Structure 1
């Protein structure tokens, strides 16, 4: 009889309040989950990019956000951040808005999505819900993946 080993897949989900400390909570959650699963090789990248997406959710919305960290069967990690704002920014949108322009060296912000573009293996964004009066899930989901296939 052959033994079949199941892939190491798992999911962590976290609802984040609209709070300036949300990015820190997200970083701590990512660090604990990845360390606990022995995924040290991608920890710094995932922690940085997650922090950037959660920070943007805080800065550009007035409501809560959600974080979902998923280990896929092929070894990749996918991170998704939902927020209530419907606009999908570059590089997550469709061409011709698929690249983030350079930021002047003296600028204090504006590098977060460029980091996603540089360090994630893939990324995307999609609208969530139709935004109607009964739709509590309207907004967008931005995601990125890291790790070898």
Structure 2
């Protein structure tokens, strides 16, 4: 069916708003996202103590492996493969900065619980039901 004139909308402007609660309700894991906002302190002997990280988000999430998006680093003569993950959180969460830490606290896959990720990219779009974070697995 042709559009009814110039400027007609194919998608209702409330499309994403209507679907966001469903996207959040289907998230089957939980995570805590923190970010270092305090510069920390250095004592008289030059020992650095990092500041306390601020909690930006604690709630439902979905974690998917991005197997087609692996990174290979050469460390000396050894190769190290880093897997990337997409961690989706509620759309209305606060803005999550690059390098924030994501800690999985609950998941149906027991191997996922306790994993830590570093946010390397945040996806934005004109139609979104959730906030997608692209992450690298990291060591704590």
Q: Using structure 1 for the length normalisation, give the TM-score.
A: 0.30
Q: TM-score, normalised by structure 2?
A: 0.31
Greater strand share, structure number: 2
Q: Which is greater in Rg?
A: 2
